[in-house]
Structure 1
């Protein structure tokens, strides 16, 4: 089994000060004083690849709506889309997020690898880059240094609208790399996770080839294979993308905040996203207690990711699960 990541180190602001000094929580983020790195050929290619990853599923969604108008969808397409959404979604929420990023549990090596592969098939980036970016987000939540805060451009209406667009998808196109050496040294030292990270391009191909092949196997025609690729491949990816990005954007702007978080941290609970995000939209508690394996702690708060972790624990596949203790939760709750 792999040790829990050094979160106290990875989530701490850099030594020697931070870009948050002097930030009042209202104004646009100040310039950190560093010159923007020039975009070389590799950087331009990265932007192009990011653009394809972001826009292609969205274009497919429009195509799917057009096709649905003509009733061109098979029951098997919907079932495949649901199955792959669940598999890749839990790969992100249980594997990438609660396990690898925050150390909410320790998984046996095969489970750790399977979850990392499933999360990589979500088309959201390689596992090490994903984890590093998210740890940086927690180190600087909603203040200078946060890679995707909706408050980057201030709290006035125009700045807020621009900030929402930035936090939802615009941040992906900024030349603002997160150093994995600082934020994910534990994963860089993990041979298995490094291998999964390097395999990300192949896993992107697999997450599209799999529904195409299954559609062909089920229907036996190019039409069945193509509609399966569209619905269980591209549309499924688009939906999971926007649900994940909505946690970055909407769950820092709209919703309730029953728990205290750090200064400037505006993470909220947004119940309409709870089921689609597998419990990730109980975001306020998560930011109050990031290592907790359960995010939905109040009555009626569905948290499918926590249920999966509980099942894995009962099967002996994970251990040292950091379940939220009532007295600990009480210390975070607002009076």
Structure 2
């Protein structure tokens, strides 16, 4: 199968001016990011971070039915969910991967930290994987295409599992030096990426600390940890992974793209606008994915607020003419 060249990724002037240089193959950069093969210990840890929160998610329904859930627990779940979700969608995805806008230095570092709180992997590895995905989207070389095994129903079922979870256990890893050299050259981003275990710990313990202090009880800390940490992480993970699996298998495709990305409306709110996936693959650097009336995209709204505050600039908002040029059916001109 043939693929088109990788998308041109914007390296913003503020990034180039403020980051110290680091040799791509220097020991410091290699030690920061890990090897290109996933070891057995890492695979076991990954399995634990998938299985334990998922068990909590399954247990959430009977626990809510039998014991109920406090407003504090729901508040912590919601707050931590959308902090991590927007950290991924705005930070890891639209900013670091695609350069949809430029950010002042404090915002750049903050976005790297907030994305890390989603517990979806170090920022450099996440970005490298996603850039490779766009280079080979739904073709040979794509790390997580649901069409990997073919287009028959059994093959697609197997492919959906691969795209949703299975690909993360592949021993071969995306070469980070090749796909994310700009982030490797930034000492602050390398540090945040190297400190992923720290940010994971903060993400998991913060709800428990808040719950314990608010209720002044161990029970409050435990229920806050269950809902605000375990259930929240499981829910966010499966919504994010659904963009890889569901949004590349079903959904409307009004825009021209070289893959099978689709718009899935019922994931829009929980995915913070990422499920308007067909437009994203038709125009990857666009800061807004939900471009039609009624297409909710909270990530684009927050980017707009950051722009108004002066924290973000040179935002790549899609012009109507650019959107129309990517439609499969061109809109009719008025007489």
Task: Settle same-fold status: TM greater than 0.5.
Answer: yes
1:258 corresponding residue in structure 2: 254
Gaps in structure 1 of 5+ consecutive residues: 1-5, 11-38
Q: How far apart are 1:59 and its partner, in Å? A: 1.3
> Aligned to 2:273, what secondary structure does the other structure show?
coil
1:133 corresponding residue in structure 2: 129
Provide Cα deviations, 1:47-103, integer angstroms capped at 9, x if missing partner: 111101111110111232332232242110000111111111110000000000000
Write the distance in 2 (CA, Å) between the matches of 1:9 and 1:208.
Answer: 32
1:145 corresponding residue in structure 2: 141
2:70 corresponding residue in structure 1: 74
Write the distance in 1 (CA, Å) between the matches of 2:87 and 2:155.
Answer: 34
**Is 1:244 aligned with 2:240?**
yes
Q: How far apart are 1:325 and its partner, in Å? A: 1.0
2:306 corresponding residue in structure 1: 312
> Structure 1 residue aligned with 2:262, among 268, 278, 294?
268
Write the distance in 2 (CA, Å) between the matches of 1:225 and 1:70.
Answer: 19
Give the conservation status (yes or no) of the 8 Å contact 1:147–1:176. Answer: no
Write the distance in 2 (CA, Å) between the matches of 1:327 and 1:208.
Answer: 44
Give the conservation status (yes or no) of the 8 Å contact 1:89–1:122. Answer: yes
* Residue-pair matches, total: 299
Give the conservation status (yes or no) of the 8 Å contact 2:272–2:299. Answer: yes
Return the TM-score normalized by structure 1: 0.87
1:29 corresponding residue in structure 2: none
> Aligned to 2:171, what secondary structure does the other structure show?
coil
> Aligned to 1:231, what secondary structure does the other structure show?
helix
Write the distance in 1 (CA, Å) between the matches of 2:292 and 2:9.
Answer: 30
Gaps in structure 2 of 5+ consecutive residues: 1-5, 11-35, 330-335
Return the TM-score normalized by structure 2: 0.87
> Aligned to 1:8, what secondary structure does the other structure show?
coil
1:197 corresponding residue in structure 2: 193
> Aligned to 1:181, what secondary structure does the other structure show?
helix
> Structure 1 residue aligned with 2:183, among 180, 187, 203?
187
2:286 corresponding residue in structure 1: 292
Write the distance in 2 (CA, Å) between the matches of 1:288 and 1:132.
Answer: 20
Give the conservation status (yes or no) of the 8 Å contact 2:7–2:134. Answer: no
Provide Cα deviations, 1:195-217, integer angstroms capped at 9, x if missing partner: 10011001111111100100101
> Structure 2 residue aligned with 1:154, among 150, 154, 170?
150
Write the distance in 2 (CA, Å) between the matches of 1:302 and 1:101.
Answer: 22
1:332 corresponding residue in structure 2: 326
Give the conservation status (yes or no) of the 8 Å contact 2:9–2:97. Answer: no
Give the conservation status (yes or no) of the 8 Å contact 2:263–2:278. Answer: yes
Write the distance in 1 (CA, Å) between the matches of 2:193 and 2:82.
Answer: 21
Give the conservation status (yes or no) of the 8 Å contact 1:113–1:193. Answer: yes
2:204 corresponding residue in structure 1: 208
Write the distance in 2 (CA, Å) between the matches of 1:120 and 1:50.
Answer: 15
Write the distance in 2 (CA, Å) between the matches of 1:75 and 1:223.
Answer: 14
> Structure 2 residue aligned with 1:321, among 315, 319, 330?
315
1:17 corresponding residue in structure 2: none
1:22-171 matches, within 5 Å, as: 43-171=39-167
> Aligned to 1:111, what secondary structure does the other structure show?
helix
Q: How far apart are 1:329 and its partner, in Å? A: 1.1
> Aligned to 2:150, what secondary structure does the other structure show?
coil
> Aligned to 2:246, what secondary structure does the other structure show?
helix
Q: 1:271 to 1:9 in 2, by over 3 A?
A: closer
Q: How far apart are 1:326 and its partner, in Å? A: 1.1
